[in-house]
Amino acid sequence: MKEGEMENGGRKKGWNFRPSAELAAPTQITIRGILGTLMSNLDGGDERPRIQLGHGDPSSFPCFRTSPIAEDAVISAVRSAKYNCYSPSVGLLPARRAIAEYLSHDLPYELSPEDVFVTVGCIQAIEVTMAVLAHPGANILLPTPGFPIYEARAAFAGVEARHFDLLPDRNWEVDLDAVKALADENTVAMVIINPGNPCGNVFSYQHLAKIAETAKKLGILVIADEVYDHLTFGSNPFVPMGTFGSVVPVLTLGSISKRWAVPGWRLGWLVATDPHGVLKETKIINAISTYLNASADPATFVQGAIPEILGKTGDDFFKKTTSMLRQTADICYDRIKEIDCVTCPYKPEGSMFVMVKLNLSHLEDIYDDVDFCSKLAKEESVILLPGCAVGLKNWLRITFAIDATSLEDGLGRLKSFCQRHMKKQLKDEKRRIKEKQI
Ligand SMILES: *Cc1c(COP(=O)(O)O)cnc(C)c1O
């Protein structure tokens, strides 16, 4: 190094390191980031309890506590002292076998343990999928609205994200014409989330069949995020995308985080639901193993508990969860109908969320969804997720995975907030109509 490049303390001028371009941009929107900002805006002076309708984690509510069978399974696994070791990078064989059996219940063919890779929650399954499919110029089709981890992981992997819409007036079905228009010879896959986050929709068998046919024609893989598997309480039952695995290869992503309400246990899976072995032939399966050889595994004792958790949890636990969600989804839908400034195009039938549209033209001093949520947090201590966090500006995502009393309280406060911020002209009109009726 030349003399002139040194500063006083003997340090080289400037540093050689800098953050990766994908991570340096402060524009990356994440659900956690936005909810964190809203929480920091809360007015400390409000005596009322804070009501969280922005989260996707009901584990802290006593009514959503996981099954004792799951708790006991983990305790026994720890006590057995058999699971203090490192795990094989693809997961413990009994856990892989249990996941294969669990998913095969709903499929027209049998999965084998070799089809299953155990991951650190569904999030790692997303990470692995994006990394494995990345090649120069590759693009992937993602839903709008969607789950922003896909955008983030596609960006880290260097895969271009292209977006198709889910259609609110068609029960949030995939706009398949848009999918066909977006795809080209560099398109590798399309992502569906079913049951849906953030829309609470459940795809019908017929719609899934059309998705499979479309993907087959385009020569692309379907990535099916089924982290809310079986959390359905409407007219459409849950049908796994893997049902159509003989039409088009499917990578199924899931976890115990949502159905068992234990997102902190970090146990998920990435599964080749592909009876013709296309993914093996195209060496995708190899690449998954290679990637997992160089990453962290889920805790071995949680893997050790998986055969009990998946095999022994009784129907009573699942029924209790879905009937609670059915009840709170009803409350949510009914209360929102009574509020002028928001509309809900679709009554949720699955997952834990509903999307509602903000009618900004009815509101006096609200600029957009983020402004709405910040003021709502400040004035009412109610947290909602602004739609921009899931790709739909000026919508809101509301979670109904919360006890019914708190939900009623939160939606009541949402209603008074909307009434307070309604345009004066509309308020006057409403008053006149009311007076006429009297
Ligand atoms: C919660 C969620 C995940 C992440 O699941 P984990 O098992 O907690 O990692 C993935 N996809 C969607 C759509 C989710 O809502």
111-128 pLDDT, tens digit per residue, is 999 999 999 999 999 999
State in Å: Cα 387 to ligand 1 middle: 17
Asked if the peptide bond before residue 386 counts as cis, ω within 30 degrees of 0, the response is: no
Of all protein residues, whose CA lies closest to atom 5 belonging to ligand 1?
122
Q: What's the mean per-residue pLDDT of the chain?
A: 94
State in Å: Cα 56 to ligand 1 middle: 9
* Of 55 and 5, the one with more pLDDT: 55
State in Å: Cα 227 to ligand 1 middle: 6
Q: Tell me which H or E stretch contains 118.
A: strand 116-119
- Which atom of ligand 1 is nearest to 126's Cα? 10
Provide the pLDDT for residue 5: 62
Pocket test for ligand 1, best of 127, 150, 151, 197 (most atoms within 8 A of CB): 197
Pocket test for ligand 1, best of 252, 258, 266, 269 (most atoms within 8 A of CB): 258
pLDDT-based confidence at 24, cuts 50/70/90? confident
- In CATH, which of 2.30.30.60, 1.10.1740.10, 3.40.50.10300, 3.40.640.10 is domain 68-312? 3.40.640.10
* Residue whose C-alpha is closest to residue 257's, from 70, 350, 122: 122
Domain boundaries, the chain: 25-64+316-437, 68-312
Of all protein residues, whose CA lies closest to atom 14 belonging to ligand 1?
227
Q: How many CA atoms lie within 13 A of 90 on its CB side?
A: 18
- Which atom of ligand 1 is nearest to 254's Cα? 7
State in Å: Cα 122 to ligand 1 middle: 5
With H, G, I as helix, E, B as strand and everything else as coil, classify residue 20: coil
**pLDDT exceeds cutoff 80 at 28:** no
- Whole-prediction pTM: 0.94
Residues with CB under 6 A from ligand 1: 56, 121-123, 147, 193, 197, 225, 227, 255, 257, 263, 268
| Beta strand 382-383 pairing with 51-52 | parallel
Distance of CA 250 to the CA centre of its chain: 18
d(CA 184, CA 85): 46
**pLDDT exceeds cutoff 70 at 2:** no
Lowest mean pLDDT segment, chosen from 12-21, 37-46, 69-78, 357-366: 37-46
pLDDT digits (tens, 9 = 90+) for 173-194: 999 999 999 999 999 999 999 9
Unique residue bearing structure tokens 């009815």: 362
State in Å: Cα 252 to ligand 1 middle: 13
Lowest mean pLDDT segment, chosen from 54-68, 185-199, 252-266, 285-299: 54-68
State in Å: Cα 197 to ligand 1 middle: 9
**pLDDT exceeds cutoff 80 at 383:** yes
d(CA 203, CA 9): 64
Pocket test for ligand 1, best of 124, 142, 147, 399 (most atoms within 8 A of CB): 147
State in Å: Cα 277 to ligand 1 middle: 26
Provide the pLDDT for residue 27: 54
d(CA 164, CA 218): 15
**pLDDT exceeds cutoff 90 at 42:** no
Provide the pLDDT for residue 32: 78
Start-to-end CA distance of the chain, whole Å, equals: 89
Pocket test for ligand 1, best of 123, 172, 306 (most atoms within 8 A of CB): 123
pLDDT digits (tens, 9 = 90+) for 239-271: 999 999 999 999 999 999 999 999 999 999 999
State in Å: Cα 377 to ligand 1 middle: 25
State in Å: Cα 158 to ligand 1 middle: 21
- In CATH, which of 3.90.1150.10, 3.30.450.20, 3.40.50.300, 2.60.40.420 is domain 25-64+316-437? 3.90.1150.10
